[in-house]
A = this chain, B = another copy of it.
Amino acid sequence: MEVPVIRNLLEANDTLARQLKNMFAARRILALNLISSPGAGKTSLLERTLTDLQQEFGMAVIEGDLQTDNDARRVAATGAQAVQINTNGGCHLSSSMILEALGSISLDTVDILFIENVGNLVCPVEFDCGEDHKIALLSVAEGDDKPEKYPLLFNLAAVMILNKTDLLPYVNFQMDTAERFAKKLNADLVTLPVSCRTGEGLANWYAWLRKARAGKLHG
C-alpha cells in the first residue's frame, strides 16, 4: 500500500519539477539545490557567495527549514531576496513548495536561484525541486566515510563541497578517501574543498558558478 502512494507523490512532484525547469530555462535562471546534513554550512556558504558575487549576479534564496526563519534572515542581511519555507516537521522541500515561494520573489532580476533544502542527506534527494544541479555539502567534521554511507546524494550531485577545511588539523578526515568514495559513485562529480570561515577555496566555487550560469545563457 505504501509504495504506490509514494510513487504517485514522486510522479506528481516530477511533473511540477519539469514545469519549473522549463520556466527557469526560459528566464535563463541557474537553479541550484543545496543539500547537506544539519550544520554542514549551507547558510554560511550562501552568506559568503551572496556577499562576494553581489555586483556580478542577481541572486535569490529559498530557505527550507522545519522551524524558524533564522536562515532567511541571515541571507537577507546580505541584501539578496530571501523567502523562508517552514515545513513544520517535513523532512524535505518539494516542487510545490518552490512554486509557492517563487510567488514572493521578483524573478526578473534573478540570475541564480539557490534552494537551501532541509538538513538531511536522504529524503531531499528524491524530490526534484526543478533545479539544474544538486550541490552536496559535506563538512570535514562529519568524516570522510559519508559519501560511501549516504550514496544517494553523491550519486546525483554535480558538485561536492567539502566545507570547514580550517578544521582539518583537528579531525580525522582524508580528502582523498572522501573523493575516492564519491568518484566511485559519480565519475563526473566536481570536488571543491572550501572554508567558509577563512574563505579558502571559495574562488573555485565562484568559478564553477560562473561557468554553470554561462551554460544557461548559451544552452
Contacts and interface: CB of A to CB of B under 8 A. Distances in A.
A187 to B, nearest CB: 18
Interface residues of A, number: 40
Contacts of A38: 37, 121, 142-143, 146, 149-150
Contact of A91 (B120, B148, B149): B120
A190 interface: no
A166 B120 CA distance: 25
Interface string A109-122: 00000000011111
A1 B9 CA distance: 10
Contact of A119 (B2, B67, B150): B150
A9 B3 CA distance: 12
Contacts of A166: 170
Contact of A167 (B37, B90, B119, B170): B170
A105 interface: no
A39 B139 contact: yes
Contacts of A142: 37-40, 139, 141
A149 B5 contact: no
Interface string A58-95: 00000001111011000000000000000001110000
B67 A149 contact: yes
Nearest to A5: B5
Given A2-B5, A9-B2, A150-B119, A143 B91 contact: no
B5 A39 contact: no
Interface of A: 1-2, 5, 8-9, 37-40, 65-68, 70-71, 89-91, 118-123, 139, 141-143, 145-146, 148-152, 164, 166-167, 170-171
